[in-house]
Amino acid sequence: MIEVSASVLNVDKTNANHMFYNLETAKINYFHIDVMDGKFVERNNVELMKDYALTISHMSNLGLDVHLMVKDVEEFVDEYLMLEPQILTFHVEAIDDEEKIRSLIDRIKRSGSRVGIAISPNTSIETIKKYLNYIHMILVMTVVPGKGGQTLIPETLDKVKNLKQYLEENNIDIDIEVDGGINNETAKLAIDAGANILVAGNYLISSDNKIESVKKLKE
Ligand code: DX5
Ligand code: ZN
């Protein structure tokens, strides 16, 4: 079943609550919280994303799909676990120590959240194969992490295809989330490649019929 996760990265602070309400009534499945620390990626929106995550957790029953684009993963994992996110995802590129990655996976699972590992466009699926049996989702970045409104990089869909094939060959049943440049056209390509959770930011935020737009993504 295809799920939609609305990225709140580019939601304007002045009408955020109204936008969150419209997204929720458009039948999205999750709110995608894009946390950027100014180190792993250039932009720093730590305060704003915490504010949005707290607001959403008070006003909506929908799950938080938290995407940590941060260098100091442990610090943000502890902070966001307090909000009991549905999914908590960190970038494999941020940690070069396998033991640390394994202990983070355990910490997130013990707290009851689903754990995701994100890979940027230049990162191969080889780097995460050893973790696949221990996590719930792979987030395949279809743009370079750091900002919304970018165009999907087509080669990343080949990565989704290869990953899906590997999962099927090895009987590993976990979610594949695609993130960046997803709209009614690219969503179809991503689903055909094997993705089952679609992150959409600007496509939904700029839509004046969000119910229709979410439906188009899921078709
Ligand atoms: C980019 C973020 C994405 C982005 C998606 O670093 O991880 O979630 O906000 O926004 P769109 O759908 O506009 O590309
Ligand atoms: Zn994201």
Query: What are the 10-residue block averages of pLDDT along the chain, 219 residues in total?
Result: 98 97 97 98 98 97 98 98 98 98 98 98 98 98 97 98 98 98 98 98 98 96
The model carries a pTM of: 0.98
- Asked if residues 169 and 189 have their Cβ atoms less than 8 Å apart, the reply is no
Residues belonging to the chain:
219
179 catalytic? Reply is yes
SS3 state of residue 87 = strand
Q: Which amino acid is at 5?
A: S
34 catalytic? Reply is yes
In CATH, what number is assigned to the domain containing residue 153?
3.20.20.70
Q: Domain range holding 53?
A: 3-218
- Asked if residues 57 and 23 have their Cβ atoms less than 8 Å apart, the reply is no
* Dist. CA 171 → ligand 2 center (Å): 27
Which ligand 1 atom is at minimum distance from the Cα of 141?
7
Between strands 197-200 and 3-7, the pairing is parallel
Instruction: Give the number of domains in the chain.
Output: 1
Ligand 1 test: best mutation among 10, 179, 213, most atoms within 8 Å of CB? 179
Q: Which residue has 């990089």 as its token pair?
A: 153
d(CA 50, CA 198): 22
